[in-house]
Structure 1
Amino acid sequence: MTTQPDHPNSSDRPQGPAQPGPYGADAVPTCYRHPDRETYVRCQRCDRSICPDCMRVASVGHQCVECVREGSKTIRAAEAPFGGRPVTTPVVTWTLMAINVLAYLGEVVNAPLVLNRFQMSADYVAAGEWWRLFTGAFLHAPPPSYWHILFNMWALFVIGPQLERMLGSLRFAGVYLLSALGGSVAVYLFGWASVGASGAIYGLFGAMFVVARRLGYDVRGVLWLIGINVVLTFVIPGISWQGHLGGLVTGTLVTALFAYAPGKNRKAFQLATALAVLAVCVAIVVFMTPLGG
């Protein structure tokens, strides 16, 4: 008498690895990438069977690695509002603050040495010490004066992180450094010597105005901030109005070029215009050097 096995998985059934293929009544679904692995999970996009090693968690269910890779090509990378990578930690702001503080500590140790070597001075720049156009923007009134560096670092601490997140780290660094340079160039043309990050800080004030205007925010508070500081520039004795206004104009101009850059080739336009501003600043110093010497 012939008998049938009690269970389809009994030892009388032919053994061997399951094979991929069309699902029949008795077919065991296997992973499309690993045919020796039995699985009952399917990709939500292509409906292929996938094993745990090939599963990727999706918003609904799971997807295979190929569908995830293909879908990622259509996802636009996140950007800051005016280009560049999104900023979570304002590294440039903290770095600039650290450089300013370290420079001030150098003044605490030996102010005459630091100032004689790095202070912005038209005479020394005309003699070929071009680095003073930048280094002077990281120095401040030496001890026992503390208010100069405290005000500038407080302003950088308050507005720097937000501006860096809006502009992106590289563009924010560009605005800061070009504003510092613009302030030094103005001192070179209309003044004699100066120290302080105020030119760069005033450039950030101008950047705040441009960003707020571009994004449709109320700019009255920013205008009041700029107006009060400009008045203080001319009221308080000993302040370099050349550095303040030079930084303000430069920062406003550079940020406007960044914020209103055309959508097509925006990054190239922003880089080109920043380099153009740098070139203009350098050209001014070069052509005016005989007058300053």
Structure 2
Amino acid sequence: MMPITPVVKQLLIINILFFVGSQLVPQAYDYLSLYYFDNDQFHFWQLLTHMFMHAPISNIGHIMFNMFALYMFGSSLEHFWGGKRFIFFYISCGLGAAALQLLINYISIQQTLEPAAYLNLSHRELYEIFNTDFRQGTSYTSELLLPKIEEILRTGHPGVSLTQESLSAIFNAAIESKGVMVGASGAIYGLLVAFAFMFPNAEMFIIFLPIPIKAKYFVPVLIGFDLVSGISSTWFGTGSNIAHFAHVGGALFGFIMMWYWRKNRFNHNRWN
């Protein structure tokens, strides 16, 4: 088994410190998780910090699986690449994961808003609506959102009437805008792609299917599953609290970097 390498060790420590700290100070989730950019809780640093945050201890498997994968695949890559190249790749994949997930969220919200397009709400007006407090207990309710929408229509769009369909569209879009993302999974998927590039014939196992599968087959199938799951949950309403497109984004950015490095014969250069 590959000995743990220095940068991987530091990343493990940072992730564990973030995890323990966020359990002791739950408010950390409000500042360090990644919010949708039209949510007033969004801050630019969340693009980086979200990849060191993980689900609460009730879902401890989230950080356990990610850290295990970081150790298993990251150490092999850092051994060949050197620490600087490895951390550049890791952070880039994490940022790519965030970028694609935010883009998909934006597209999904715009599509959800289509029945309300005739209202001609501006970006600023939608921002105000999305950041209205319409939570009652642990649930969102359209009755608390309705007064804000009516106020905006009365002030800026006199004579335009709100239908039940358009109210439902705005309500659902506002709920989508409340979503948050945490976890190193996007960066980990980038590592998986890099591992498959460098060690295509290495045999890997699925926990519930103890049959060895070569990395060059295992990784594409895993990414394909996330792509299908992401499409299903985003556009067909199957529902999921997993940011599947973040996984796909991390893998995509990892693939682009590996393809570029290999094309430019940069694949075996170390950054020490």
What interval of TM-score do these two structures reach, taking the shorter chain for normalisation? 0.5 to 0.7
Select which of 70, 75, 80 maps to 1:166.
80
- In structure 2, the residue matched to 1:246 is 249
Which whole-Å CA distance do the structure 2 matches of 1:114 and 1:188 have between them?
A: 21
- In structure 2, the residue matched to 1:138 is 52
Give the ranges of 4+ consecutive aligned residues of structure 1 lying more than 4 Å apart after TM superposition: 124-128, 217-220
Instruction: Give the number of equivalent residue pairs.
Output: 176
Q: Does 1:204 align with 2:191?
A: yes
- In structure 2, the residue matched to 1:110 is 25
Change (3 A) 1:200 1:135: same
- Secondary structure of the residue aligned to 1:144 is helix
Instruction: Give the residue type in structure 1 aligned to 2:199.
Output: A
Please say if residues 187 and 243 of structure 1, whose CA atoms lie closer than 8 Å, have aligned partners that are also in contact.
yes
User: Cα RMSD over matched residues?
Assistant: 2.9
Per-residue Cα deviation, 1:227-264 (whole angstroms, up to 9, x for no partner): 2365267299311012100000011211232333247x
Q: CA deviation at 1:180?
A: 0.3
Change (3 A) 1:105 1:128: closer
- In structure 2, the residue matched to 1:237 is 240
Which whole-Å CA distance do the structure 1 matches of 2:94 and 2:23 have between them?
A: 23
- In structure 2, the residue matched to 1:179 is 93
Instruction: Give the residue type in structure 2 aligned to 1:244.
Output: H
Q: CA deviation at 1:147?
A: 0.7
- In structure 2, the residue matched to 1:120 is 34
Select which of 210, 222, 227 maps to 1:228.
222
- Secondary structure of the residue aligned to 1:238 is coil
Q: Does 1:98 align with 2:13?
A: yes
Please say if residues 196 and 219 of structure 2, whose CA atoms lie closer than 8 Å, have aligned partners that are also in contact.
no
Change (3 A) 1:150 1:157: same
Query: Percent of counterpart pairs with the same letter?
Result: 26
Q: CA deviation at 1:92?
A: 0.8
TM-score, normalised on structure 1?
A: 0.53
Instruction: Flag the structure with more relative contact order, 1 or 2, with Cα contacts below 8 A and sequence separation at least 6.
Output: 2
Instruction: Give the residue type in structure 1 aligned to 2:87.
Output: A
Q: Does 1:255 align with 2:258?
A: yes
Which protein has the bigger helix share?
2
Q: CA deviation at 1:210?
A: 1.7
Change (3 A) 1:132 1:225: same
- In structure 2, the residue matched to 1:290 is none
Instruction: Give the residue type in structure 2 aligned to 1:245.
Output: V
Which whole-Å CA distance do the structure 1 matches of 2:70 and 2:58 have between them?
A: 22
Instruction: Give the residue type in structure 2 aligned to 1:205.
Output: L
Which whole-Å CA distance do the structure 1 matches of 2:29 and 2:180 have between them?
A: 11
Please say if residues 122 and 187 of structure 1, whose CA atoms lie closer than 8 Å, have aligned partners that are also in contact.
no
TM-score, normalised on structure 2?
A: 0.57
Change (3 A) 1:199 1:126: farther
Please say if residues 137 and 197 of structure 1, whose CA atoms lie closer than 8 Å, have aligned partners that are also in contact.
yes
Please say if residues 185 and 246 of structure 1, whose CA atoms lie closer than 8 Å, have aligned partners that are also in contact.
yes
Q: Which has the larger radius of gyration?
A: 1
Structure 1 unmatched runs, 5+? 1-86, 271-293
- Secondary structure of the residue aligned to 1:256 is helix
Instruction: Give the residue type in structure 2 aligned to 1:196.
Output: G
Q: CA deviation at 1:144?
A: 1.7
- Secondary structure of the residue aligned to 1:237 is coil
Please say if residues 210 and 259 of structure 1, whose CA atoms lie closer than 8 Å, have aligned partners that are also in contact.
no
Which whole-Å CA distance do the structure 2 matches of 1:226 and 1:158 have between them?
A: 18
Which whole-Å CA distance do the structure 2 matches of 1:167 and 1:212 have between them?
A: 13
Please say if residues 179 and 199 of structure 1, whose CA atoms lie closer than 8 Å, have aligned partners that are also in contact.
yes
Change (3 A) 1:172 1:212: same
Structure 2 unmatched runs, 5+? 106-178, 204-212, 233-238
Q: Does 1:194 align with 2:181?
A: yes
Q: CA deviation at 1:226?
A: 4.3
